[in-house]
Amino acid sequence: MGRLIVAKVGSSTLMDEAGELDVAFVRSLCAQICELRRRGDRVVLVSSGAAAVGRSLLGLTERPSDIPTLQACAAAGQTTLIERYAEVLAEDGAACGQALLTRGDVVDRTGYLNARNTFERLLDLGVVPIVNENDTVSVREFSFGDNDMLGAIVASLIDADLYVILSDIDGLYTANPDSDPSAHLIERVERVDTDIVAMAGGAGSSFGTGGMATKVRAARAMIAAGIPMVICRGRGDRALVNAADGKGRHTLFEGPEGSGHEQARKLWIGLAGLSRGSVTVDAGAARALLKGGASLLPVGVTHVEGDFDEGDTVSVLDRDGRLLARGISRYSSDELWKVHGLRLDVIARFMPDRADCPAIHRDELLVF
């Protein structure tokens, strides 16, 4: 059996200069998907564009700023978008199935597994799943925020072999190539560190919600998952096929040879789980998490933010506010405030039931 490939295409790539859905590009993209399928690969397409298409259909000249109008645009545009994909794929004998998700659909373990089973069955039946966030009903708390991360969650959910982001740029550059003539394309990234994050820059186009920063966040997740990720220019000649074959101009994000693949449960916690708060850790705890694969102990916690219960997902930040990890807290926020900075033997004197209890156990911690 061939590879399982997740491809994500953004609104800025799907729409033409007039703000209309570029049907010629849709045909090219679908032709490439069918070519990969004939070679034995299976493809899942994560497609933005519903709100942008709806905006055009409803005659709106600017991106709406209020949520109800954005959701109305998504509702109007989603039917047209999926119809175009279905029509073009059918010409090549392929069927497609629509999957609309919110983070609320996958934050609980049962929903996560149900979504995975649906994708697996669609692929077994030879269907091309086409995924988008369900913007019509999504609220901020349960929003993925951007489809770059949605694609990363789908890739980890189905244990994909490759994640390709078809963008409006060749990949990650050392600086903005539009303003800095010395900027050059970075062809391979093995670790998303502060330098890589700094290179990522800001927001995307007037059609989309993402930018290079969102793609780098997705890349960090994919490196943790052990899934190679490629960013390339989606409108390049045979961009998807070339990316699948390792050809063309692009940036490949992939951990060093021999790097581990995190467990499925850790990936669900770190990627799909909704963070209810955060804890800041000192330099020693950060080193233990990043280098030693240790659990997070209360003694290493310097600050607690948010209101969370035992069993909730929380983010782990370093002293500069950078995200290090996400995991399941063994304490509520109130409890952690009382014990942070204390050794376990001290905690045991007044909380005997927590004598050996880390703040977050390493088996329930995804380190980025």
Query: pLDDT of 237-284, one tens digit each?
Result: 999 999 999 999 999 999 887 665 666 667 777 776 678 899 999 999
Q: Domain coordinates of the chain in residue numbers?
A: 4-253, 275-367
* Least confident span in 10-19, 154-163, 202-211: 202-211
Task: Provide the percentage of residues in the chain whose pLDDT is more than 70.
Answer: 89
Distance separating alpha carbons of residues 140 and 314, to the nearest angstrom? 18
- The topology (CATH level 3) of 275-367 is 2.30.130
Q: Do 136 and 78 touch, CB atoms closer than 8 A?
A: yes
Indicate the DSSP class of residue 340: T
pLDDT of 35 > 60? The answer is yes
pLDDT at 205: 36
pLDDT at 263: 66
pLDDT at 339: 93
Task: Provide the percentage of residues in the chain whose pLDDT is more than 90.
Answer: 47
Chain segment 138-172, per-residue pLDDT in tens:
544 434 557 888 898 899 889 899 999 999 899 99
pLDDT at 272: 63
* Least confident span in 61-75, 152-166, 199-213, 338-352: 199-213
What does the pLDDT average to over 65-84? 87
Superfamily the domain 4-253 falls into: Acetylglutamate kinase-like (3.40.1160.10)
Distance separating alpha carbons of residues 368 and 324, to the nearest angstrom? 6
For residue 82, give the 3-state DSSP assignment.
Answer: helix
pLDDT at 217: 84
Cα dihedral 314, 281, 286, 255 sign: positive
Residue pointed to by tokens 């069927």: 95
What does the pLDDT average to over 179-184? 86
* Least confident span in 74-83, 297-306, 328-337: 74-83
Q: Do 320 and 281 touch, CB atoms closer than 8 A?
A: no
The mean predicted confidence, pLDDT, of the chain is: 86
